Amino acid sequence: LLKLSGLGCLVLLVLVAVLSVQVFQKAPTPPNALQNKSEAGGRSRTEVCMITSLLRYFCRWNGSAGHAGCKLCPQSWQLLGDQCYQVPKSTGTWMEGKKDCESRGSHLAVLRNTADMDKLTVWIGLKASSNIWKWVDNSSFDATPSLLNVENDCVTFVEKGLEYDGCGSNHKWVCQTEPFQLLSKTAGDGESFSACPEKPILQDSCC
């Protein structure tokens, strides 16, 4: 969960504002409220613009591509692609790394794309049992030639490649978790909140 830091407060502000807009849009209009339609529409537009500006800021702040949406990682985690990663300072066995990641509400990294990972020797969530390799999420893995005929070992990520090692060896490990996805549009009106990455600052006007 996000800690209530400045970033966490802004996220809560976005969610409260989005829910306010949704409730306002779905609430029935009483007969005596027609005269206030113009004022209400103005307030709604102001709220939408505020949310748009916040989403625009966060999309750029993460350095994410437009298709990734506004994704936020917990404090001290790093967004790479569409997942959040963290390398704890501790070292230990594969099982110790697995338990540590689980205690953080995450799991050992399931690396589908290793292009962005640093040059570290770290445990990842891949383990062999009776010559069958599986990720910690129970998905299968087609073993590379270097990992064939390995009965009961674990895998480290080294120099952007995979190497097997005894599960009792000591290494750092990489934890992985899902990012927090900010809403991309308000319910009911279909208006998209687009990112404007050319200006990574909060702006007063909508796109």
**One domain for residues 105 and 66:** no
**One domain for residues 89 and 166:** yes
Give pLDDT, residue 93: 94
CATH label of the domain that carries residue 170: 3.10.100.10
According to DSSP, residue 89 is labeled: S
Report whether pLDDT(77) > 60: yes
**One domain for residues 92 and 56:** no
Q: What are phi and psi of 176, to 5 degrees?
A: -135, 140
**Mean pLDDT of all residues in 191-206:** 44
Q: Which of 132-141, 149-158, 169-178 has the highest mean pLDDT?
A: 169-178
Report whether pLDDT(59) > 50: yes
Give pLDDT, residue 173: 92
**One domain for residues 111 and 39:** no
Give pLDDT, residue 102: 96
Name the residue range of residue 52's domain: 1-71+182-207
According to DSSP, residue 85 is labeled: E
Give pLDDT, residue 145: 57
**One domain for residues 107 and 43:** no
**One domain for residues 89 and 160:** yes
Q: How many domains does the chain have?
A: 2
**One domain for residues 103 and 155:** yes
Cα–Cα distance list, 170 to 30, 61, 188 (Å): 67, 35, 53
**Mean pLDDT of all residues in 79-94:** 89
Q: What is the pTM of this model?
A: 0.56
Nearest to 103 by CA among 20, 175, 169: 175
**One domain for residues 93 and 153:** yes
Nearest to 174 by CA among 148, 136, 147: 136
With pLDDT > 70 as the criterion, what percentage of the chain qualifies?
48
